[in-house]
Structure formats: C-alpha cells, structure tokens
Amino acid sequence: PAEAELRLARQQVQRNAAIAREAEQRKNDLIVYLAHDLKTPLTSVIGYLTLLRDEPQISPEMRARYTGIALDKAERLEDLINEFFDITRFNLSHIELDRRPTDLTRMVEQVVSEFGPMLAEQRLTCRTDLPPRLEYSCDPDKMARVFDNLLRNACHYSYPDTEVEIAAVVESGAAVLTFRNSGRTIPPEKLDRIFEQFFRLDESRASRTGGAGLGLAIARQIVELHGGTISAESADEHICFTVRLPFAAPAAP
C-alpha cells in the first residue's frame, strides 16, 4: 500500500541523512586529528631548532642530541603527513591494482629486515615460519604496505623482551599469513572496531607511537581489494592478525 511505501521512503531519507552526517563527522575528525597530531612534533622541531640557533656556545654533544631529536620529530611529522595522504588516496572509490606474481615469503623477509632498528629499540625479536617460496598475484607495493602496517602495529603494542611471530601457510586455496605478538589483551568491544579509521587502541594523545589510527584501516582496504580478508583476535595477553588471500581460480581453457 501507498502508506507502507511512504514509510519506507521516509526511512530511506533518514538513513541517507544519517550516512551524510557520519561522513561529515569523519571529515571533521580528520581535521581535528590532523591539527593535533601535526602540531605536537612540529612544536618540538621548532623548539629544538630555536635552541640550536640561540645557544652558539652549546657543546658538540648537546648539539648532536638536539639535532637528533629535531630530526626524529621531523621524520614523525613526515610519517603522519604520509598517513593522511594515504587515507585520502585509499578513500577514492576505485583503486587500480597492479597485480603481478610476487613471492610473499621474500616480501615478508624484506619487511622484517627493514624493521630491524625498530625491533631493537623496542627490545623485540621477530621469528618467521614461512615456506621457501609463496607465490601470489598481487600489487606488491600495496601488499608490502599491509605487512608493514601489521608489523608496525605489533611493535607498538608488544611487551618489551618478547617475540613477534610471522607465519604463512597455504590452506584451502588461500595464502594465510598470521602476525602474532605478546601484549595487553584487546577487549572484544575494541577488537570489533580495530579496523575502523581513526580508531586507536591507546587513546593517549601524547603517545609517541600512536599514529592517526589509519594503518589497520588501510591494511583492510588493500586486503579486501585483493579479494581477501583480515581479522584480529586476542586472548591471554596475545594478539593475532590473520590475512587470508585466496588464489584466483584458474581460467577456463
């Protein structure tokens, strides 16, 4: 009847309005995060460079220390700006994948080697359990970003003096990669939201390691573009992320 159709139309209008409000709120959130997150390291960079300019008699040791801190904060600033560019890029409605045969084992090993300094700084070791070769057709640049984000996340949320374990197997027509680390158990309500944009496990705004909460959201988008899934589970002070990448069905002869 006309009344039911009218009610459905009204509900649809309300839903569309709610979606538009949520999109506007996300945009506002992005601006707030951008302003806050960029301001903190920028203030440090300006502060230490000012000290270097205003204290000509500073000792070489202190000069090296101040320069090191300013550089560290400037690099942090660069990371944040790259994150915001990424989320804007990945939010575009259509992203072209440049798929090519890629050895995921080699890719993981390469990412792990790049994380050597960060692992050492956090007093972590990384153990891999990978097949000699794991070929998968993917966009290598984007897939490397997924592994980078997952290992970065493990580094940030691991207890010191623990091990991060990355394993890969072929299972039910898919490449399955797991990233495990020891850290505070993530409660279920946070686990459900961990792949949302801007969601942070650690709400401390001063957290040196807290990015904009975009890394896992980007990882999920890339994995899903490849037709795969990414999930997280946590119990008994362990966290595990699982990436499942189905192999494409062979083309018909």
Question: What are the tens digits of pLDDT across the range 172-190?
Answer: 899 999 999 999 998 888 8
Q: pLDDT tens digit string along 116-129? A: 888 888 899 999 99
Rounded CA gap, 201 and 113, in Å?
A: 26
Q: Categorize the per-residue pLDDT at 232 as very low, low, confident or very high, splitting at 50, 70 and 90.
A: very high
Q: What sign results for the dihedral spanned by CA atoms 6, 11, 15, 21?
A: positive
DSSP per residue, the chain: -HHHHHHHHHHHHHHHHHHHHHHHHHHHHHHHHHHHHHHHHHHHHHHHHHHHHH-TT--HHHHHHHHHHHHHHHHHHHHHHHHHHHHHHHTSS------EEEEHHHHHHHHHHHTHHHHHHTTEEEEEE--S--EEEE-HHHHHHHHHHHHHHHHHTSPTTEEEEEEEEEETTEEEEEEEEE-SPPPHHHHTTTTSTT--S---TT-SS---S-HHHHHHHHHHHTT-EEEEEEETTEEEEEEEEEPPPPPP-
- CATH code, residues 2-90: 1.10.287.130
Domain with CATH 1.10.287.130 in the chain: 2-90
The pLDDT value recorded for residue 206 is: 36
The arrangement of secondary structure in 100-246, i.e. its CATH architecture, is 2-Layer Sandwich (3.30)
The pLDDT value recorded for residue 250 is: 47
Instruction: Find how far residue 87's CA is from the centre of its chain.
Output: 10
Domain with CATH 3.30.565.10 in the chain: 100-246
The pLDDT value recorded for residue 240 is: 95
Q: Mean pLDDT throughout 37-41?
A: 75
- Residue with more model confidence, 198 or 118: 118
The pTM score is: 0.66
Q: pLDDT tens digit string along 54-98? A: 988 889 999 998 899 888 888 878 877 776 776 666 655 456 788
